[in-house]
Structure 1
């Protein structure tokens, strides 16, 4: 039995803990402790429970027990302070609180597939990321529910097919595996894909539960798993919602997996797409040094493939980020270059949702074309309604155009589609800006604090932080935020708001200026 949570796989049979394709070394007692917590996740586990299960009743010191709990947390990226997965229940014990999906561990070996002849072919992997989504298993005991499971999978395949950089196996080939027990490695070889998506459907009275998971077929490791639930009151709307959620999660996990693969490739064999992937982690980090590393890689990708629309758009977006944080050294030249790249990306990527999304932000922030930017976001979402970046950057543009509540809806959709997004600090900043303009200052500061923890060098975020605290009456904290602004950009003033970000409504500019003024920022 394997237990899947976040991007970890705890394999009880092989006694292995993996994150994606990487094996995480853990000691025998730490593995036993973690496995016991996972298996007993519905209850609080006491000290005596652990001593009996892990140490077979032997007495061990409190420090030994604590060190093993800390080691278990460390192995799964948790801490005693964060307690994201292993939570301490005061004076009672500890409990595993992460979402778990259970899966049967499969033994290595081939699977006979008599219904398809392609198993006889040797298929090479495409240059781009490749995936097959298999029919979901119907666990309801009611064959009449097959149509619902099949419909979800067909929607997922259709939506993934809209992602230009992804090679997707057609529905007719994927569905040859319907009703069969499969081995993901064998499926990968037979269909010539690196990734396999699969899942199950279970109905209980008026509710339905769908689990989905993503497997690296080459390595045979789980990359992602999640569970989706809902009522059957409107089964087709539920089907669409679940398909959208799974697609957003799969796309995000695929991008992360491909970025990690690109990092490991030797420098001498890079193609345009590899340069693009190597740039993305730097872009996600968002520091000045990281953007300085990302931009040349995007330009290298453009040089290798002059029609690579997304590379042009990401280059334009880097100039936007430099503008917002006050990092430009030649504003006039960088504005012109960012606009040039964005317009070229739109021309090259008329059907590329990623290119349209990043170009939309660049044209809004560098060319002042906010309405045009929103129109491009709308087009991107028609092309790929599951692109989290389109929802979060669209949220910023909606808020800047004067509709913060619409912006919040966009940003919440982005978080739902990509709950582990590497750009989450930007989404949180968007929520803070939206609530600031909606005059919900306490809520704005809460979102700002979350973003600040991830990237304290984000100038716009710190300005939102200062203004929100000041308008909420917390002048001391607002003053500390202004001190931090001065460290980031000693030239930043209240007058800097004019032309900084494309805020359309005068009352929103006035509100922002008033907050910074009360916080103590000079005119």
Structure 2
């Protein structure tokens, strides 16, 4: 176990607090007793004996703090298994909740090779995907829950920050063809352990371990599954582990949202598909990069990229019609092809498969905005931000677009300013900001924002955006242009 892990374990079990409190009380006691004994004329050896007893008691107090935890249910023992409480402690009674919520943190990689982090991340992410299929459970998005990766974890703080009642932590140790996975589920308001287990398996059984963890969590939270839902949770199209690692690496490049990132992503994703031809999520991610090429105007033939993206997204759904990722990226490709109704069918299919799919809700909000259903878009974005409390910056842009379209211009400006705190080089943010300022009559601020657009993207073209943005109600975009005209900008 790492030094960081030991330190976190000492903190979480209250050993540090207990040691500090014991030392403080012992020091005060010795100071008081030294004065009392001196006045009484007691021999010096008496104070030495008491000092020795206090020193001996210090490690005893620390051991007791390590072994026992004071909870609302009383004093309970806590064992130690690779930095996690052992299964026999998992007897805390959990009160049923109308909407239990869980955040699955990135599993610690305890292997000697740093590159195995993709393997441990994949385990946690597959568990998120499984749990997100349950309508009775709100599952926090990976984007938020993985924020705590690599640092000490205070489950109470995580619960407060993510609005999650439960936190799932874990660690993975891979040695050759053997893997050990340790996982625990904790209630965030009390810090009480709900469930914990250790799995020692052959590497070929790793997907079965993921299913077992998901089902154990469901049982611990007293969620009733229909036989059909249990079958869906344990249904897996075989994917090679190397292919999964390539997929995770490729997706990381894709989400950089750069031209080179898209190119590198496709190289890795194509290798993943060559190993596992039925890997629908890898196909869908390629579709995402191709749509992004079209939107951003990257490559020699953006229109052809869009057509290819739609073709590959359809193929991904044909390979696995139960994959929510394939459905959400099919919806994205259909939207940019201006097939709004079919796009809605795909994103609704995604959310039927996985009600807690944050990307699905984001896509639904985006689609509703382009279809002119602004209030619906704002409501969907609210759901999305509950599922992904540390939401990506693009969510702020989508929110500002919907706010501006609904006439909430002051709110839109505030939202855009929040996005600029996270990304100061977004020409689209400054362009929308310039329009909002124009409508508000803040001419100087509008012109300053437009100057930033030209600084970042000298060839920025409103005409191209008018041509490619998939509005079913073009009046929304024309109102944006109107704001720029009000500021007297030369567009």
Q: Retained in 1: the 8 A contact 2:247–2:268?
A: yes
Task: Report how far residue 356 of structure 1 moved.
Answer: 0.4
* Equivalent residue number for residue 499 of structure 1: 467
Moved more, 404-413 or 303-312: 303-312
Q: In the TM superposition, what are the counterparts of 1:71-150 in structure 2 within 5 Å? A: 106-108=79-81, 137-138=92-93, 148=96
Q: Retained in 1: the 8 A contact 2:266–2:289?
A: yes
In 2, Cα distance between equivalents of 1:363 and 1:511: 25
Per-residue CA distance 1:422-469 (angstroms, 9 max, x = gap): xx1111111011101111111112222222333344443332222222
Structure 2 counterpart of 1:427, from 395, 403, 418:
395
* Equivalent residue number for residue 216 of structure 1: 170
* Equivalent residue number for residue 402 of structure 1: 372
Q: In the TM superposition, what are the counterparts of 1:326-475 in structure 2 within 5 Å? A: 326-365=297-336, 367-421=337-391, 424-475=392-443
Change in CA separation of 1:243 and 1:486 when aligned onto 2, cut-off 3 Å? farther
In 2, Cα distance between equivalents of 1:521 and 1:17: 58
Q: Retained in 2: the 8 A contact 1:135–1:150?
A: no
SS, match of residue 437 in structure 2: helix
Residue 297 of structure 1 pairs with residue 268 of structure 2 = yes
* Equivalent residue number for residue 287 of structure 2: 316
Residue 482 of structure 1 pairs with residue 450 of structure 2 = yes
SS, match of residue 298 in structure 2: coil
Task: Report how far residue 216 of structure 1 moved.
Answer: 0.6
In 2, Cα distance between equivalents of 1:150 and 1:513: 46
Change in CA separation of 1:322 and 1:515 when aligned onto 2, cut-off 3 Å? farther
Change in CA separation of 1:497 and 1:106 when aligned onto 2, cut-off 3 Å? same
Provide the TM-score with structure 2 as the length reference: 0.57
Per-residue CA distance 1:147-193 (angstroms, 9 max, x = gap): x3699699x9xxx9xx799578xx9xxxxxxxxxxxxxxxxxxxxxx
SS, match of residue 372 in structure 2: coil
Per-residue CA distance 1:55-105 (angstroms, 9 max, x = gap): x99xxxxxxxxxxxxxxxxxxxxxxxxxxxxxxxxxxxxxxxxxxx99986
Q: Structure 2 unaligned segments of length 5 or more: list them.
A: 29-71, 105-122, 135-154, 157-162, 172-179, 191-217, 224-239
Q: Retained in 1: the 8 A contact 2:327–2:347?
A: yes
Q: Retained in 1: the 8 A contact 2:80–2:86?
A: no
Change in CA separation of 1:324 and 1:489 when aligned onto 2, cut-off 3 Å? farther
Q: Retained in 1: the 8 A contact 2:441–2:486?
A: no
Change in CA separation of 1:153 and 1:314 when aligned onto 2, cut-off 3 Å? closer
In 2, Cα distance between equivalents of 1:368 and 1:220: 47
Give the structure with higher Rg (CA): 2
In 2, Cα distance between equivalents of 1:362 and 1:279: 19
In 2, Cα distance between equivalents of 1:108 and 1:349: 38
Q: Which structure is higher in helix share?
A: 2
Change in CA separation of 1:17 and 1:345 when aligned onto 2, cut-off 3 Å? same
Task: Report how far residue 400 of structure 1 moved.
Answer: 0.9
Residue 510 of structure 1 pairs with residue 478 of structure 2 = yes
Q: Retained in 2: the 8 A contact 1:482–1:519?
A: no
* Equivalent residue number for residue 279 of structure 1: 250
Q: In the TM superposition, what are the counterparts of 1:131-170 in structure 2 within 5 Å? A: 137-138=92-93, 148=96
Equivalenced residue count is 334
In 2, Cα distance between equivalents of 1:512 and 1:471: 9
In 2, Cα distance between equivalents of 1:302 and 1:270: 12
Task: Report how far residue 215 of structure 1 moved.
Answer: 1.9
In 1, Cα distance between equivalents of 2:256 and 2:399: 19
Change in CA separation of 1:212 and 1:320 when aligned onto 2, cut-off 3 Å? same
More RCO (CA 8 Å, sep 6+): 2
Change in CA separation of 1:243 and 1:416 when aligned onto 2, cut-off 3 Å? farther
Change in CA separation of 1:227 and 1:476 when aligned onto 2, cut-off 3 Å? farther
**Cα RMSD (Å):** 4.7
* Equivalent residue number for residue 203 of structure 2: none
SS, match of residue 300 in structure 2: coil
Change in CA separation of 1:381 and 1:226 when aligned onto 2, cut-off 3 Å? farther
Task: Report how far residue 363 of structure 1 moved.
Answer: 1.5
Q: Retained in 2: the 8 A contact 1:324–1:459?
A: no
Per-residue CA distance 1:450-499 (angstroms, 9 max, x = gap): 22333344443332222222222233332233223223432323322322
Q: Retained in 2: the 8 A contact 1:342–1:363?
A: no
In 2, Cα distance between equivalents of 1:313 and 1:288: 18
Q: Retained in 2: the 8 A contact 1:213–1:223?
A: yes
Provide the TM-score with structure 1 as the length reference: 0.53
Task: Report how far residue 383 of structure 1 moved.
Answer: 0.7
